[in-house]
Amino acid sequence: MHEWVGRWPDSLVSDDADLEREFEARLRDSSRLAFSIAYGVLRNRADAEEVAQDAFARAFGRFRQLREREAFRSWLTRMTWRLAIDRWRADQRRTAREDKAAAEPVSPNTEDVASARERSAHVWMAIEKLPEKLRLVVVLSAIEGHDMREVATLLGLPEGTVKSRLFTARKTLAENLRWLVSDLPPR
Amino acid sequence: MACQRFAAAIRAHALGAPLAGEAAVHLTACPVCQAAFDVESRVLATINEALTDVASATPSLHFESRVRAHVEVAAPRWALRRWLIPSAAAALALLAVALLVPRWAPEPSAPREIASIPVEVPRIPAAGSTIEDAKPAGTELTKRRARRGHVRPASESRAAAAPEVLVPERERAAVGRLAASLRTGRPDVVSMLMRLRGGDTVSDTQALTIAPLRIDPVVISEIPGTAAILDK
């Protein structure tokens, strides 16, 4: 008992140092993932970096509570996604307030789809209208190197579920964006 | 009619689903369904093109170090504890030292300059009363406690038997003389007021005499011009 009492601060301090080292390793491993997820929602580099930073700060604060350290990436994915969505919604509300009078809803006409950039903007608008669970799958699968298995691991879902969600998402997008290509010349 | 039947399967095929044999045959034979399949393929290509934006997006050069700095600023309690525990331990150790050192310090030796001498302070009895009457009566509470045995009566205490007064050694002789002078009814004011330096001792009260105050005689003279006023 006496020995334990004498040693406990040391053990706590060394535990904390180990945790910090482990978190540092996770940060190196997952910083790009957090950024890409945030970027997939916000599509603005500075905003995405800010959200990723916040996500890591939160993750660091709760890192001790994370029992399965192997699930860190999955945990970080959900956290980043949630923060990015919150930020995106706040931005949407602010933009709606600021541009209420000036903004015109984007109408699908041939003028709007003149450039690839505009097409991309329409695609993202359609992605943003997807239900959240479909949207998350679309963004995660778009991140380089993420196959179905990786996305399933990140989301903690069966691979079949991820496949099904991605299929539904793409089908919904295709239905909503078919007008976009109807006037385009065939490749 | 066949086109409508296979439309869903052909769209699913554009999304990556395998096409059943009959639908595949129809797709190769039907230009309308081929056009529909082509549109679907181009839509999906557009979607994929937009999504490559996510894949190709890269954070800025020092993103990771900024994240690290941000994380350090928002360090949680458990991370702060790494520094807090040693700091708290050091503070506690200092506190303990501060509390214990005075107790461990050696008892101050008998004061070099302070000594106790028994001094008898005579009480001046009132006219017609005895010496016993002059003893301190004590409060009612003291008397009650004395009866219960909690305290000894003041008259029985050692202090009452031989009252001690702490007197600096170099003033001891003077205080002794003061006490003696009080006892004899001739208070020596000089002994009370004197302040010796450098360990000098006074053995004779004659040494404590002070020069008498010199008072110059006052000369009263008349102010010129006031005689007439005074006469009135």
User: Which domain CATH number covers A4?
Assistant: 1.10.1740.10
| A13 & A98 share domain | yes
Please check whether residues A62 and A128 belong to one and the same domain: no
| Shortest CA gap A174–chain B (Å) | 6
A-B C-beta contacts closer than 8 Å: 140
Average pLDDT over residues B38-43: 88
CB contact under 8 Å between A19 and B78, yes or no, is yes
Are A181 and A123 in the same domain? yes
Averaged over B191-202, what is the pLDDT? 52
Query: Cβ contact (<8 Å) for B43 and A52?
Result: no
Helix (H) or strand (E) holding B118, with range, is: strand B114-118
Chain A residue numbers touching B40 (CB-CB < 8 A)? 174, 178
**How remote is the C-alpha of A173 from its chain's centroid?**
18
Nearest Cα to Cα of residue A37 among A54, A60, A16: A54
Same domain for A117 and A132: yes
Which amino acid makes up residue B160? Answer: A
- Residue A47 CB contacts under 8 Å (≥ 6 apart), including other chains: A38, A87, A91
Domain's final residue, options A62, A80, A103: A103
Decide if B33 contacts B26 (C-beta within 8 A).
yes
Q: Are A52 and A23 in contact (CB under 8 A)?
A: no
The reported pTM is 0.54
Residue B85's pLDDT is 66
Binary contact (B74, A60; C-beta < 8 A) = yes
pLDDT at A1: 42
Number of domains present in the structure of chain A: 2
Residues A19 and A48 reside in one and the same domain: yes
pLDDT digits (tens, 9 = 90+) for B210-220: 567 778 888 77
Backbone angles phi, psi at B229, to 5 degrees: -65, -45
A67/chain B closest Cα distance in angstroms: 15
* Strand ranges in chain A using DSSP code E only, listed in sequence order: none
Mean pLDDT of A4-26: 67
Which residue segment(s) compose the domain that A143 sits in?
106-187
Mean pLDDT, chain B, integer: 69
Last residue of a domain, one of A61, A81, A103: A103
**Are A99 and A136 in the same domain?**
no
For residue B140, the model assigns a pLDDT of 61
Residue A152 belongs to a domain with what CATH number? 1.10.10.10
Question: Measured between beta carbons, which residues in chain B are less than 8 angstroms from residue A120?
Answer: 49-50, 53
- A12 and A72: one domain? yes
Chain B residue closest in CA terms to A123: B47
Distance CA B193, CA B195 (A): 7
Most confident range (mean pLDDT) of A69-73, A119-123, A161-165 is A161-165
> Which chain B residue shows the shortest CA-CA distance from A17?
B82
Averaged confidence pLDDT in chain A: 81
- Confidence check: pLDDT of A187 > 50: no
Q: What's the pLDDT tens digit per position in B68-124?
A: 888 877 666 655 566 666 677 788 888 888 877 766 655 555 555 554 555 555 555
Looking at the structure, tell me whether residues A3 and A87 fall in a common domain: yes
CA nearest to A64, candidates A25, A20, A31, A8: A20
pLDDT of A161 higher than 90: yes
Residue of B nearest to A39 (CA): B54
Of the residues A70, A103, A136, the one at which a domain ends: A103
Q: Based on the fold, state whether residues A7 and A53 are members of the same structural domain.
A: yes
Q: What is the pLDDT of residue A79?
A: 92
Task: Specify the higher pLDDT residue, B182 or A74.
Answer: A74
| Other CB atoms within 10 Å distance of the CB of residue A170 | 22
A49 and A117 share one domain: no
A56 vs B contacts (CB less than 8 Å):
67, 70-71
